Chain A
């Protein structure tokens, strides 16, 4: 039976009650979870809760939060709960719009409005455009406008006609006609109303011909002077027409704009924008004129699909309501599930128009930073970091205190064409990143900006001390799950079984894993089995059924491997004994479920130069930790058995029939036992598998996956038939962690299987060999016949033979020298 080692750990064969810590369900005080209040119990996260409260409460810049911890412990759920509570207590932030920038069209202007007024502003601007669409054409259709326009046009026309007419009259006075040619005007001598025929002209006296030619040249010069004046007159007329148009437009727009100005008087940005709109409309009244036949009106383009209306001139007066808080009553909480660069900072969309991609301010869409502005934003750190430039964009926004919507292609310099550069929007929000610990460590180590921006670490624990109070909290959590997920109520025994499973998941009978998604999964599956069985409540055997079914679902590989052993294709003995051969235990994981695999470990020794050959490492199948374990064994051997002389040993260690990577040091105790067996030439029992790591003093140290390893070996032994001498030798430090399955516990209780806890290699060797290990006496020797004495003698023999072998060449050399 088990004794106690230093530190209170049990040593020796463990009792059945030491293999499984039962949950004391009778102390729960309820029969089903329906009787428990759902008070949103938080299980074992006091440290995280305190950090969350601090991080949310502090308003200084840079105090963003990083919620780290194992997956499934409720980081997002808990952070969301606290953030939503905090958001509910904060005021609704401002609405944000983008409007056309009349001075710099490529740089849309951002305007903030009180919450809910953004929509009203958008609607008011749409109405203004609609009113102008009727008001401006009506003003231009008035007789007054037409008359004044005709006056200006007529003035220009008359001016031209008068000037040309004067030239024509000068020409006519000299019997020269002014003719309109395809490219302008020409002069020709007349005969009556008609141009003089060439023959008649040639018949004229020379003097008359010269006179006509000279007169025509003079007239051409005069005409040139007139024509040069025409563009000047036309510009003057155009200026007058423009002023007339502005005056007419002004009468149509002034009252409408003034009305809006007074409505938005407390908002200077809006008032300024309205002033710019007024000026722009005065210059572009034609946008509001009805379309001519075959044209699409500007207003039609405005309401049509973007692709068709990309060129609509009236879109410049639209309002792009980027963030609308009309329907919200508190500050926002946003969880962005897909934190790409664009989803964070917004994007500028494009539409295809005439074969080219075009964009304008109405195509700017909000990102998560816009939506969460004034509140809280939660992001998954890993997702964020795996999206190109998303992390940089977030940091840039937090450091600069503004969100700048810039296409990713521009950030990367992939586009050289001119694009929109919307005005940045001031940013005031708190960001919570959720991620694993190693991501936090990496960011902290490699990104100097990270500690400045995420000063609050929220460290979520993966397990909690298994106390009665914690078990009751766990029950409350199960009750909450059942209620929220509409599962059947859980009986107290079912909750107890879940507690035990949580304890096993924590890898310790003294802990409870608080991986809530795993607990929820088990609860849902147990509920399913209760349903299959037609029950109204979930019983303990439903939980057991769920666990069994889960094991069966991933049992294919362990079963196949076991079959290979049973059929003798993989050599693992579960009985008998052999020198230099021990059963080690490995752990594999499939789909989140782990299982143990027995593996044969052998050792061979001979005289040599102190080399301990790790075949796994030599064949590049051994990991660094495994190699370290083997080197520790060498240190143990040298220190314990050859402290005063050379270690003239050459040994080989191997995981037999292992063709994959071997890592970890949990087999170092097994390897050492095999090696010492080979040195002592004493066989080891192959009925007992060994797991544990060792240090250079021969202490056996704790390893991981102890439950799975024991169960894996138990399953193999069961398949061959339990003979009573089989068992597993484990580190004493692992004994408190045991939460073994029912079959193992029953077998141990029935004396058909044994779990031995050992603190030293000597204790293990004695169990495996049945021979006393032996301790050094007062003169430093081991008792005769003890294992250690045999080992020491063997090593001394190796050393002596090595010394003799080394002396032979030295003697030959000395003889040759003498002979010379």
Chain B
């Protein structure tokens, strides 16, 4: 996987972990960094409703909303995100830019993403259904670029999870691990989260061969259920964890449970690959 640009997108300030991880990856992969603040079209649509309003947080209280006030609020948020990104980049040898786009977040990113892009998206458990993880995962189905999901509540993520789709091209996984290995590969762990079968064994051997061919030697584990992943991570403390999950629902549960950024790999490679 050749990454020439890391695109980090957020719809609100405070996504420090997403910004920091994007900066780290951009540096590690010698890629450019593009920050994107997404002015959500959903929010603008909300503001046009005749009874549009918001409940303040953390100070409770109802306020009427209109398009202008919503736009002012979004512009202020965009400025804050740009400042946050600038402060994370400060002092690092990194070429970066910042844009504001009006879109539904993931759709915009995936539409814009090039073959050598890595998308980084901040998500929040408390953000409601329209910005939540499930929506991001649904939008990602069929994507052809890798997507790194970073929960807003993370503080200092030290490890990364790489999650391929239920049916994936092992070469795509090998490309991704190859790219991440210099930074995270010292304690890499591949976990097969599926009942043992000849088919799974064959898949594992194929992955093993591909990685061995690139000089990568991760440990292998087998796990009965995706929800047990956090316990395994706490026990073995890998820097790079690769859960091979056969079920889409389990995949979503695993992404939610893992307390680290999660790199979702596309099912197939698009365009140029390593």
Taken residue by residue from 605 to 633, chain A's Cβ proximity to chain B (1 for < 8 Å, 0 otherwise) reads as 00000000000000000000000000000
Beyond known contacts A194-B130, A220-B55, A223-B55: 11 more, CB 8 A cutoff: A160-B126, A161-B126, A168-B128, A180-B128, A182-B12, A184-B54, A184-B55, A185-B55, A185-B57, A188-B52, A213-B51
Stretch at the interface among A19-27, A225-233, A356-364, A522-530: A225-233
Question: Which stretch in B40-48, B92-100, B195-203 binds the other chain?
Answer: B40-48
Q: Find out whether the CB atom of B60 lies under 8 angstroms from the CB atom of A227.
A: yes
Residue B127 lies at the interface, judged by CB distance under 8 Å to chain A: yes
Does residue A186 face the partner (Cβ distance < 8 Å to B)? yes
- Shortest CB-to-CB span from A220 to chain B, Å, is 5
Number of interface residues of B (CB under 8 A): 42
Cα separation A181 to B40 with both chains bound (whole Å): 9
A-B contact pairs, 15 of them (CB 8 A): A160-B126, A165-B126, A178-B129, A178-B130, A179-B43, A180-B12, A181-B46, A181-B65, A183-B54, A184-B57, A186-B43, A194-B130, A195-B43, A198-B45, A224-B60
Give every chain B residue within 8 A of A184 (Cβ-Cβ). Answer: 54-57, 63
Among the stretches B16-24, B72-80, B165-173, the one at the interface with A is B72-80
Q: Which of B45, B57, B73, B124 contacts A197 (CB 8 A)?
A: B45
Closest chain A residue to B56, Cβ basis: A184
**9 cross-chain pairs, A with B, having the tightest CB-CB distances, nearest first:** A182-B73, A178-B128, A184-B57, A227-B60, A188-B46, A195-B45, A195-B42, A184-B56, A198-B48
In the bound assembly, the distance between CA atoms of A194 and B104 in angstroms comes to 9
- Of chain A, the residue at the smallest CB distance from B234 is A147
The smallest beta-carbon distance between B64 and chain A, in angstroms, is 11
Whether B49 sits at the interface, judged by CB under 8 Å, is yes
Interface 1/0 per residue, A222-257 and B, CB below 8 Å: 011001101100000000000000000000000000
Q: B41, B58, B77: which contacts A182 (Cβ < 8 A)?
A: B77
> Which chain A residues have a beta carbon within 8 Å of chain B's beta carbons?
157, 160-161, 164-165, 168, 171-172, 177-190, 193-198, 201, 213, 216-217, 220, 223-224, 227-228, 230-231
Number of A-B pairs whose CB atoms are under 8 Å?
118
> Is B131 an interface residue, CB under 8 A from the partner?
yes
Nearest-CB residue, chain B, relative to A143: B234
Nearest-CB distance from A813 to chain B (Å)? 116
Q: Which residue of B40, B56, B135 is within 8 Å of A183 (Cβ)?
A: B56
B253 part of interface (Cβ distance < 8 Å): no
Interface contact B52-A186, CB-CB below 8 Å: yes
Cα of A184 to Cα of B46 in the assembled complex, Å: 13
Most central of A178, A180, A198 by chain B CB within 10 Å? A180
A180 touching B74, Cβ below 8 Å: no
Contact across chains for A164 and B126 when beta carbons are under 8 A apart: yes
Taking a contact as CB atoms under 8 Å apart, the answer to whether B128 and A193 are in contact is no
Which single member of B77, B126, B127, B135 contacts A193 (CB below 8 Å)?
Answer: B135
- Please determine whether A161 and B60 come into contact, CB atoms closer than 8 angstroms: no
Q: Which residues of A contact B224 (CB under 8 A)?
A: none
Q: Contact at A188–B49, with CB atoms within 8 Å?
A: yes
A179 in contact with B128 (CB, 8 Å): yes
Distance of A220 Cα from B56 Cα, bound (Å):
10
Is A231 a contact of B58 with CB atoms below 8 Å? yes
For B58, give its contact among A195, A213, A227 (CB under 8 Å): A227
Given contacts A216-B51, A227-B57, A227-B60, contact A168 B45 (CB under 8 A): no
- Using A227-B56, A230-B58 as known contacts, say yes or no to A179 and B130 having CB atoms under 8 A apart: yes
What chain A residues lie within 8 Å of B11 (beta carbons)?
180
B153 contacts A by Cβ under 8 Å? yes
By a CB distance below 8 angstroms, the chain B residues around A188 are: 42, 45-46, 49, 52
Alpha-carbon separation in the docked complex, A193 to B130 (Å): 7
CB proximity to A under 8 Å, residues B97-131: 104, 124-131
Check: B70 CB closer than 8 A to any chain A CB.
yes
Nearest A residue to B125 via CB reads A161
Query: Could you say which residues of chain A place their CB within 8 Å of the CB of B62?
Result: 220, 224
Q: Is the CB of B49 within 8 A of A201?
A: yes
Check if B53 is an interface residue, CB within 8 A of chain A.
yes
Check B45 against A177 for contact (C-beta < 8 Å): no
> Which residues of the other chain, B, contact A216 by a CB distance below 8 angstroms?
51
The distance from the CB of B60 to the nearest CB of chain A, in whole angstroms, is 4
Instruction: Evaluate whether A198 and B73 lie within 8 angstroms (CB atoms) in the complex, with A164-B126, A181-B43, A185-B128 already known.
Output: no
CB distance from A184 to the nearest CB of B (A): 4
CA distance in complex: A195, B48 (Å) = 11
Once bound together, how far apart are the Cα atoms of A194 and B135, in whole Å? 10
Say yes or no for B138: interface residue by CB 8 A criterion. Answer: yes
Cβ contact within 8 Å between B128 and A220:
no
B153 touches A196 (CB 8 A): no
Which residues on the B side are within 8 Å of A172 (C-beta)?
129
Enumerate chain A residues within 8 angstroms of B128, measured Cβ to Cβ.
164, 168, 177-180, 185
